[in-house]
């Protein structure tokens, strides 16, 4: 600006493109309100005033502001209290406190309460204007970032998937990126980690969303049935084929075919699937005509497929065809920060579904949830919460409504209570037996894993298993 030029209002809004910035002054002294209003209006700000805190809060509720100048010593509720209310309603709205005495403790309270800054009466105009400009600029940038993030998230639609751990956020990014493509996706993860949920999200966020999503559990069927289910058959293809039948590849045409539990599929079927993946053509069982389809394939497995390849149980070429995009879902125990949000998500769902007034989880119950190992991952957590909601007679799920093995309560209902004359040795043995049985159950009968988790040699565990007469049971896969 050259010397002698008459200065236009100096704040950034004079650039023209931005909307007028709005400031609220809350002060009980008319003289202060007036002089601040004059100063700020001259600078081009739109100014509103309020004589006390309540009036100020009303103004804020009525219209948006970019900044609040708030007197500390107000009649009625003082500035610190008003600040706290503003913070509850507007996390980041900048507030500059006006203080007459500027005693250290008041200022400290104000800053702790979320004030950006403070000015002392009488103030220096230039410094005050500079502080206001800086606070508003920071606020606008923050708001823009929040808006941007929100817009980005709304572009994708994951309404029922909960996760805020870094691992899950990275998975959401990946899902958002690959959903619109036709690339084959391989989802790996332990049982109950959400593989099917992710497969559905991929479909729902693809251009295929209005076409079918067809899940098929390839592990649950004998080979013949699986093949006729996938590829269909012509009439008379085999004894019971009394009529022609379409296969799932045709039914899923234009949509997505979800091949679940892919690791247990027989070698012959693997070869046929490979062919469809290569050129999207196949034949009905017993047929001679090639059928062309446009199907996106998503496969899932809860075993390490690379290991299955090494062991010769899974075709290497098919593995590479499927593994174009790999999504690895981490077990729940390695993303514990997701537990509270997931628990609340299920609580809300099951309370609504059952018309029950349950709203919260007690702190000790939440602690037990956060500490547990979750061998069954999110599905197990979902079941535990559903049970808690249904059993609850009030508004809160307490630790008493969690299964004993989460809280350690099962060990206390031991011989100690049931047989008053049991010796200490017997009681200890009984508790030890329960702990080992419980651990083995969680490790699906794998003694090496159990010994590792207990941090004892495998031989010691073996001796205990024999001495305590423990029967090893493996959980059947769901």
Ligand X SMILES: Nc1ncnc2c1ncn2[C@@H]1O[C@H](COP(=O)(O)OP(=O)(O)OP(=O)(O)O)[C@@H](O)[C@H]1O
Site for Mg ion, rule CB under 5 A: 195-196
Would you say 167 or 234 has its CB closer to ligand X? 167
Is position 324 an interface residue for ligand X (rule: CB under 6 A)? Answer: no
Please, what is the minimum distance in Å from the beta carbon of residue 13 to ligand X?
Answer: 44
Would you say 32 or 216 has its CB closer to Mg ion? 216
Cα–Cα distance for residue pair 348/159, rounded to 1 Å:
14
Is position 194 an interface residue for ligand X (rule: CB under 6 A)? Answer: yes
Is position 196 an interface residue for ligand X (rule: CB under 6 A)? Answer: yes
Cα–Cα distance for residue pair 146/163, rounded to 1 Å:
18
Is position 192 an interface residue for ligand X (rule: CB under 6 A)? Answer: yes
Q: Residue 193: which of Mg ion, ligand X, none does it interact with, CB under 5 to 8 A by kind? A: ligand X
Please, what is the minimum distance in Å from the beta carbon of residue 188 to Mg ion?
Answer: 12
Closest residue (Cβ) to ligand X?
194
Q: Check: CB of residue 94 under 8 Å from CB of residue 68.
A: yes
Binding to ligand X, residues 449-478 (CB under 6 A): 478
Token pair, residue 461, equals: 């565990």
Q: Check: CB of residue 359 under 8 Å from CB of residue 344.
A: no
Exposure class string for 411-445: b at 16+ Cβ within 10 A, else e: beebbbeeeeebeeeeeebbbbbbbbbbbbbbbee
Please, what is the minimum distance in Å from the beta carbon of residue 378 to ligand X?
Answer: 4
Is position 386 an interface residue for ligand X (rule: CB under 6 A)? Answer: no
Is position 379 an interface residue for ligand X (rule: CB under 6 A)? Answer: yes
Cα–Cα distance for residue pair 345/22, rounded to 1 Å:
38
Q: Which stretch binds ligand X (CB under 6 A): 185-193, 228-236, 308-316, 431-439?
A: 185-193
Token pair, residue 253, equals: 């045409």
Exposure class string for 359-396: b at 16+ Cβ within 10 A, else e: eebeeebbebbeebbbbbbbebbbebbbebbeebeeeb
The full 3-state SS of 276-339, as one line of letters, equals HHHHCEEECECCCCEEECCCEEEEEECCCHHHHHHCCCCCHHHHHHHCCEEEEECCHHHCHHHH
Please, what is the minimum distance in Å from the beta carbon of residue 196 to Mg ion?
Answer: 4
Please, what is the minimum distance in Å from the beta carbon of residue 191 to ligand X?
Answer: 4
Is position 416 an interface residue for ligand X (rule: CB under 6 A)? Answer: no
Would you say 187 or 402 has its CB closer to ligand X? 187
Q: Check: CB of residue 171 under 8 Å from CB of residue 327.
A: yes
Q: Residue 378: which of Mg ion, ligand X, none does it interact with, CB under 5 to 8 A by kind? A: ligand X
Query: x/- string (CB under 6 A) for ligand X, residues 131-160?
Result: -----------------------------x
Is position 209 an interface residue for ligand X (rule: CB under 6 A)? Answer: no
Please, what is the minimum distance in Å from the beta carbon of residue 138 to ligand X?
Answer: 34
Q: Which stretch binds ligand X (CB under 6 A): 27-35, 99-107, 139-147, 192-200?
A: 192-200
For the chain, how are helix, strand and coil distributed in percent, rounded to 5? 50, 15, 35
Residue among 26, 86, 230, 378 that touches ligand X (CB under 6 A): 378
Cα–Cα distance for residue pair 198/327, rounded to 1 Å:
9
Please, what is the minimum distance in Å from the beta carbon of residue 353 to ligand X?
Answer: 13
Q: Which stretch binds ligand X (CB under 6 A): 161-169, 201-209, 306-314, 458-466?
A: 161-169
Please, what is the minimum distance in Å from the beta carbon of residue 42 to ligand X?
Answer: 54
Q: Which stretch binds ligand X (CB under 6 A): 102-110, 191-199, 240-248, 461-469?
A: 191-199
**202: cis peptide before it, omega within 30°?**
no
Token pair, residue 110, equals: 């104000």
Residue among 25, 79, 186, 195 that touches ligand X (CB under 6 A): 195
Could you give the 3-state DSSP secondary structure of residue 434? Answer: helix
Please, what is the minimum distance in Å from the beta carbon of residue 197 to ligand X?
Answer: 4
Cα–Cα distance for residue pair 478/465, rounded to 1 Å:
26
Token pair, residue 27, equals: 């002060």
Is position 215 an interface residue for ligand X (rule: CB under 6 A)? Answer: no
Q: Residue 464: which of ligand X, Mg ion, none does it interact with, CB under 5 to 8 A by kind? A: none
Q: Residue 192: which of Mg ion, ligand X, none does it interact with, CB under 5 to 8 A by kind? A: ligand X
Would you say 379 or 405 has its CB closer to Mg ion? 379
What are the φ and ψ backbone dihedral angles of 223, each rounded to 5 degrees?
Answer: -50, -50
Please, what is the minimum distance in Å from the beta carbon of residue 380 to ligand X?
Answer: 9
Residue 150's H or E segment, with its range, is: helix 125-154
Please, what is the minimum distance in Å from the beta carbon of residue 235 to ligand X?
Answer: 34
Q: How many positions of this chain bind ligand X (CB under 6 A)?
A: 19
Cα–Cα distance for residue pair 319/316, rounded to 1 Å:
5
Query: Which residues pair with residue 46 across a beta bridge?
Result: 22
Would you say 302 or 414 has its CB closer to Mg ion? 302
Is position 302 an interface residue for ligand X (rule: CB under 6 A)? Answer: yes
Query: Which residues pair with residue 297 across a beta bridge?
Result: 257
The full 3-state SS of 28-47, as one line of letters, equals CCHHHHHHHHHHHHHCCCEE
Is position 382 an interface residue for ligand X (rule: CB under 6 A)? Answer: yes
How are beta strands 185-189 and 296-301 bridged, if at all? Answer: parallel
State the residues that interact with ligand X by CB under 6 A: 160-163, 189, 191-197, 302, 342, 345, 378-379, 382, 478
């Amino acid at each position: 600006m050259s010397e002698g030029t008459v200065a236009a209002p100096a704040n950034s809004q004079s650039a023209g493109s931005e909307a007028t910035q709005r400031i609220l002054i809350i002060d009980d002294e008319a003289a202060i309100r007036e002089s601040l209003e004059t100063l700020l209006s001259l600078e081009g700000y739109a100014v509103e005033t309020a004589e006390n805190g309540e009036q100020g809060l009303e103004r804020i509720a009525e219209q948006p502001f970019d900044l609040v100048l708030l007197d500390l010593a107000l009649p009625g509720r003082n500035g610190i209290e008003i600040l706290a209310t503003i913070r509850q309603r507007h996390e980041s709205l900048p507030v500059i406190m006006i203080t007459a005495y500027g005693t250290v403790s008041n200022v400290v309270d104000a800053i702790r309460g979320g004030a950006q800054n403070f000015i002392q009466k009488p103030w220096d105009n230039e410094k005050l204007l500079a502080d206001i400009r800086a606070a508003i600029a920071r606020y606008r940038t923050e708001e823009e970032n929040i808006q941007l993030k929100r817009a980005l998230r709304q572009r994708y639609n994951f309404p029922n998937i909960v996760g805020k751990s870094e691992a899950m956020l990275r998975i959401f990014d990946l899902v958002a990126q690959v959903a619109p493509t036709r690339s084959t996706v391989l989802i790996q993860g332990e049982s109950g980690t959400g593989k099917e949920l992710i497969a559905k999200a991929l479909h729902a966020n693809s251009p295929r969303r209005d076409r079918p999503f067809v899940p098929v559990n390839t592990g649950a069927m004998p080979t013949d049935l699986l093949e006729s289910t996938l590829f269909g058959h012509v009439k008379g293809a085999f004894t019971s084929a009394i009529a022609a039948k379409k296969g799932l590849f045709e039914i899923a045409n234009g949509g997505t075919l979800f091949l679940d539990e892919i690791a247990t599929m027989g070698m012959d079927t693997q070869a046929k699937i490979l062919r469809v993946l290569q050129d999207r053509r196949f034949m009905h069982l017993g047929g001679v005509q090639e059928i062309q389809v446009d199907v996106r394939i998503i496969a899932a497995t809860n075993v390490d497929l690379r290991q299955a390849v090494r062991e010769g149980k899974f075709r290497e070429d098919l593995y590479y065809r499927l593994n174009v995009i790999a999504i690895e879902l981490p077990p729940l125990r390695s993303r514990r920060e997701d537990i509270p949000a997931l628990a609340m998500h299920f609580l809300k769902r099951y309370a609504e579904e059952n018309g029950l007034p349950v709203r919260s989880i007690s702190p000790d119950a939440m602690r037990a949830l956060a500490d547990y190992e979750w061998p069954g991952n999110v599905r197990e957590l979902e079941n535990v919460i559903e049970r808690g909601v249904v059993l609850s007679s009030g508004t809160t799920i307490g630790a008493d409504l969690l299964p004993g093995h989460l809280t350690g309560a099962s060990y206390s209902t031991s011989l100690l209570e049931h047989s008053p004359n049991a010796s200490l040795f017997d009681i200890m043995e009984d508790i030890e037996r329960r702990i080992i049985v419980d651990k083995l159950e969680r490790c699906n009968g794998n003694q090496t894993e159990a010994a590792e988790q207990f941090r004892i040699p495998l031989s010691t565990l073996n001796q205990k298993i024999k001495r305590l007469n423990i029967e090893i049971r493996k959980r059947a896969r769901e």
